[in-house]
């Protein structure tokens, strides 16, 4: 399960932001997970709940926003948003497409507190 190493890196990044902003508590972490990111959201949530227990994120809430796949078709020029893992253009059935979004996992928002 690579979700554990992903969460470890995410928490380290959040803690670095907290330290840089003189915050001692992380209250909310919002991430965007693409359909093709290779990350399983349920496992990511479990890993976050497990690894946050120590440190400034121990009470943090994780919000996962799902990023659909966005492809551009070189054949017909259309841009389509897809929920499934398919790179086939739904307009012309071409495989000649380019992925614009949906492969990434991004930290979108971080809420911090200082006492």
Report whether 3 contacts 43 (CB < 8 A): yes
Query: Per the annotation, where are the binding residues?
Result: 2, 73, 76, 89, 92
Alpha helix stretches (DSSP H) within 1-115: 3-20, 41-51
pLDDT tens for each residue of 37-60 = 989 999 999 999 999 988 899 999
Predicted confidence (pLDDT) at residue 102 exceeds the cutoff of 80? yes
Looking at domain 3-67+102-113, its CATH class is alpha beta
Query: Per the annotation, where are the binding residues for Ni(2+)?
Result: 2
pTM of the model: 0.85
Query: Per the annotation, where are the binding residues for Zn(2+)?
Result: 73, 76, 89, 92
pLDDT at 1: 53
Extents of the domains making up the chain: 3-67+102-113
Report whether 111 contacts 26 (CB < 8 A): yes
């Amino acid at each position: 399960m690579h979700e554990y190493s992903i969460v470890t890196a995410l928490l380290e990044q959040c803690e670095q932001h907290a330290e840089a902003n003189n915050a001692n508590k992380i209250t909310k972490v919002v991430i965007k997970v693409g359909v093709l990111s290779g990350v399983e959201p349920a496992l990511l949530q479990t890993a976050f709940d497990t690894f946050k227990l120590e440190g400034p994120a121990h009470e943090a809430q994780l919000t996962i926003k799902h990023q659909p796949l966005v492809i551009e078709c070189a054949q017909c020029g259309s841009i389509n948003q897809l929920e499934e893992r398919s790179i086939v253009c739904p307009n012309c059935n071409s495989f000649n497409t380019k992925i614009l979004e949906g492969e990434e996992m991004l930290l979108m928002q971080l809420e911090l507190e200082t006492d």
